[in-house]
Amino acid sequence: MPNLLEQPRQPDMQRRSIVCRTMQVRADSVNEEDRSVEAVFATEQAVSVFDMREWRPIHEVLRMDGAIVPQRVPMLNNHYRFSLDDVYGSARDAKVMGDRLVGRLYFASGDEDVERAWNKVKQGHLVDVSVGYRIDQSTTIPSGQTMTVGGRQYKAEDKPL
Protein backbone atom coordinates (compact mmCIF):
# COMPACT_ATOMS: atom_id res chain seq x y z
CA MET A 1 0.00 0.00 0.00
CA PRO A 2 1.19 3.52 -0.55
CA ASN A 3 3.46 5.45 1.76
CA LEU A 4 2.90 9.05 0.80
CA LEU A 5 5.43 10.39 3.30
CA GLU A 6 8.62 8.55 2.38
CA GLN A 7 10.44 8.14 -0.91
CA PRO A 8 10.09 4.51 -2.05
CA ARG A 9 13.19 2.34 -2.27
CA GLN A 10 12.76 1.19 -5.86
CA PRO A 11 14.41 1.74 -9.24
CA ASP A 12 14.14 5.28 -10.63
CA MET A 13 11.38 4.47 -13.12
CA GLN A 14 9.17 2.94 -10.43
CA ARG A 15 9.90 5.76 -7.97
CA ARG A 16 8.70 8.36 -10.48
CA SER A 17 5.54 6.54 -11.42
CA ILE A 18 2.25 7.23 -9.74
CA VAL A 19 -0.34 4.50 -10.00
CA CYS A 20 -3.94 5.62 -10.34
CA ARG A 21 -7.22 3.91 -9.63
CA THR A 22 -10.81 5.01 -9.36
CA MET A 23 -12.23 5.95 -5.98
CA GLN A 24 -15.85 6.49 -5.14
CA VAL A 25 -17.38 9.64 -3.71
CA ARG A 26 -20.40 9.14 -1.44
CA ALA A 27 -22.79 11.89 -2.55
CA ASP A 28 -25.09 11.11 0.39
CA SER A 29 -22.32 12.23 2.78
CA VAL A 30 -22.02 15.82 1.48
CA ASN A 31 -21.46 18.39 4.22
CA GLU A 32 -22.21 21.81 2.72
CA GLU A 33 -21.01 23.67 5.82
CA ASP A 34 -17.38 22.54 5.48
CA ARG A 35 -17.63 21.74 1.73
CA SER A 36 -16.68 18.10 2.16
CA VAL A 37 -17.77 14.65 1.07
CA GLU A 38 -16.75 11.16 2.18
CA ALA A 39 -14.83 9.06 -0.33
CA VAL A 40 -13.51 5.52 -0.56
CA PHE A 41 -9.87 6.07 -1.58
CA ALA A 42 -8.93 2.42 -2.10
CA THR A 43 -10.11 -1.12 -1.42
CA GLU A 44 -8.54 -4.56 -1.35
CA GLN A 45 -10.53 -5.53 -4.44
CA ALA A 46 -8.36 -6.55 -7.43
CA VAL A 47 -8.19 -3.72 -9.98
CA SER A 48 -6.58 -3.58 -13.42
CA VAL A 49 -3.68 -1.09 -13.51
CA PHE A 50 -0.70 -0.53 -15.79
CA ASP A 51 2.50 -1.92 -14.23
CA MET A 52 5.43 0.36 -15.13
CA ARG A 53 7.98 -2.33 -14.18
CA GLU A 54 6.49 -4.98 -16.45
CA TRP A 55 5.13 -2.46 -18.97
CA ARG A 56 1.78 -4.23 -19.16
CA PRO A 57 -1.62 -4.20 -17.47
CA ILE A 58 -1.93 -6.35 -14.35
CA HIS A 59 -4.48 -7.15 -11.66
CA GLU A 60 -3.42 -5.36 -8.46
CA VAL A 61 -4.58 -5.80 -4.86
CA LEU A 62 -3.76 -3.07 -2.33
CA ARG A 63 -3.58 -4.50 1.17
CA MET A 64 -4.99 -2.11 3.72
CA ASP A 65 -2.68 -3.37 6.47
CA GLY A 66 0.18 -1.70 4.59
CA ALA A 67 -1.44 1.72 4.22
CA ILE A 68 0.68 4.63 5.43
CA VAL A 69 -1.18 7.84 4.70
CA PRO A 70 -0.69 11.36 6.07
CA GLN A 71 -3.61 13.21 7.63
CA ARG A 72 -3.83 15.56 4.63
CA VAL A 73 -2.84 15.39 0.96
CA PRO A 74 -3.73 17.79 -1.85
CA MET A 75 -6.83 17.08 -3.94
CA LEU A 76 -5.66 17.75 -7.48
CA ASN A 77 -7.32 18.34 -10.83
CA ASN A 78 -6.42 15.29 -12.97
CA HIS A 79 -3.26 14.51 -10.95
CA TYR A 80 -1.60 17.78 -12.09
CA ARG A 81 0.72 19.43 -9.54
CA PHE A 82 2.16 22.18 -11.69
CA SER A 83 0.09 25.17 -10.63
CA LEU A 84 -1.91 26.51 -7.71
CA ASP A 85 -4.92 26.27 -10.03
CA ASP A 86 -4.53 22.47 -10.03
CA VAL A 87 -5.21 22.24 -6.27
CA TYR A 88 -8.95 21.85 -5.71
CA GLY A 89 -8.73 21.27 -1.97
CA SER A 90 -7.46 18.46 0.23
CA ALA A 91 -8.13 14.86 1.17
CA ARG A 92 -8.05 14.41 4.94
CA ASP A 93 -8.66 12.03 7.81
CA ALA A 94 -7.94 8.84 5.85
CA LYS A 95 -8.40 5.68 7.86
CA VAL A 96 -8.63 1.97 7.19
CA MET A 97 -12.11 0.55 7.76
CA GLY A 98 -12.03 -3.19 7.13
CA ASP A 99 -10.90 -3.69 3.53
CA ARG A 100 -11.30 -0.01 2.57
CA LEU A 101 -9.35 3.21 2.97
CA VAL A 102 -11.85 6.02 3.50
CA GLY A 103 -11.57 9.73 4.19
CA ARG A 104 -13.07 13.09 3.29
CA LEU A 105 -12.49 15.41 0.35
CA TYR A 106 -12.56 19.11 1.26
CA PHE A 107 -13.21 21.56 -1.58
CA ALA A 108 -11.60 25.02 -1.56
CA SER A 109 -13.86 28.06 -1.86
CA GLY A 110 -13.49 31.14 -4.04
CA ASP A 111 -12.40 29.32 -7.21
CA GLU A 112 -14.69 29.02 -10.23
CA ASP A 113 -13.31 25.64 -11.42
CA VAL A 114 -13.48 24.14 -7.93
CA GLU A 115 -17.03 25.45 -7.56
CA ARG A 116 -18.07 23.61 -10.74
CA ALA A 117 -16.61 20.34 -9.42
CA TRP A 118 -18.17 20.87 -5.96
CA ASN A 119 -21.61 21.47 -7.51
CA LYS A 120 -21.35 18.25 -9.53
CA VAL A 121 -20.48 16.33 -6.36
CA LYS A 122 -23.39 17.89 -4.43
CA GLN A 123 -25.81 17.08 -7.25
CA GLY A 124 -24.64 13.46 -7.38
CA HIS A 125 -23.21 13.66 -10.91
CA LEU A 126 -19.53 13.39 -9.98
CA VAL A 127 -19.22 10.15 -8.03
CA ASP A 128 -15.96 8.62 -9.34
CA VAL A 129 -12.60 10.30 -9.03
CA SER A 130 -9.06 8.96 -9.19
CA VAL A 131 -6.52 8.43 -6.43
CA GLY A 132 -2.77 8.40 -7.06
CA TYR A 133 -0.31 6.42 -4.95
CA ARG A 134 3.14 4.87 -4.88
CA ILE A 135 3.91 1.25 -4.09
CA ASP A 136 6.67 0.66 -1.51
CA GLN A 137 6.53 -3.13 -1.45
CA SER A 138 4.94 -5.59 -3.81
CA THR A 139 4.68 -9.31 -4.41
CA THR A 140 4.18 -10.66 -7.91
CA ILE A 141 2.25 -13.91 -8.17
CA PRO A 142 2.75 -15.78 -11.46
CA SER A 143 -0.45 -16.52 -13.37
CA GLY A 144 -2.21 -19.65 -12.18
CA GLN A 145 -0.26 -19.82 -8.93
CA THR A 146 -1.37 -19.28 -5.35
CA MET A 147 0.74 -17.48 -2.76
CA THR A 148 0.30 -16.50 0.89
CA VAL A 149 0.99 -12.82 1.52
CA GLY A 150 0.60 -11.40 5.01
CA GLY A 151 -1.22 -14.51 6.16
CA ARG A 152 -3.79 -14.44 3.35
CA GLN A 153 -3.90 -16.58 0.22
CA TYR A 154 -4.10 -15.00 -3.22
CA LYS A 155 -4.44 -16.73 -6.58
CA ALA A 156 -3.32 -15.05 -9.78
CA GLU A 157 -5.84 -15.88 -12.46
CA ASP A 158 -5.76 -15.53 -16.21
CA LYS A 159 -8.87 -13.43 -16.58
CA PRO A 160 -9.38 -10.63 -19.07
CA LEU A 161 -8.33 -7.16 -17.97
What local confidence, expressed as pLDDT, does residue 23 receive?
A: 67
The model's confidence at residue 24, banded by pLDDT at 50, 70 and 90, is confident
Question: What SS3 class is residue 88?
Answer: strand
Rounded mean pLDDT, 9-16: 40
What local confidence, expressed as pLDDT, does residue 1 receive?
A: 45
Start-to-end CA distance of the chain, whole Å, equals 21
Instruction: Compute the mean pLDDT over every residue in the chain, rounded to the nearest whole number.
Output: 84
Question: Tell me: the pLDDT tens digits for 71-120?
Answer: 899 999 988 889 999 999 999 999 999 999 999 999 999 999 999 999 99
Amino acid at 33: E
What local confidence, expressed as pLDDT, does residue 84 receive?
A: 92
- Assess contact for 56 and 50: CB atoms under 8 A: yes
- Assess contact for 66 and 4: CB atoms under 8 A: no
Cα 118 from Cα 154, distance rounded (Å): 39
Cα 49 from Cα 19, distance rounded (Å): 7
Question: 24-28, 83-87, 114-118, 146-150: lowest mean pLDDT where?
Answer: 24-28
Rounded to 5°, the CA angle 7-77-48 comes to: 65
Burial per residue of 56-94, b for 16 or more beta-carbon CB atoms within 10 angstroms, e otherwise? eebbbbbbbeebebeeebebbeeeeeeeeeebbbbbeeb
pTM of the model: 0.79
Cα 156 from Cα 13, distance rounded (Å): 25
Question: Tell me: the pLDDT tens digits for 117-132?
Answer: 999 999 999 888 888 8
| pLDDT for residue 4 is more than 60 | no
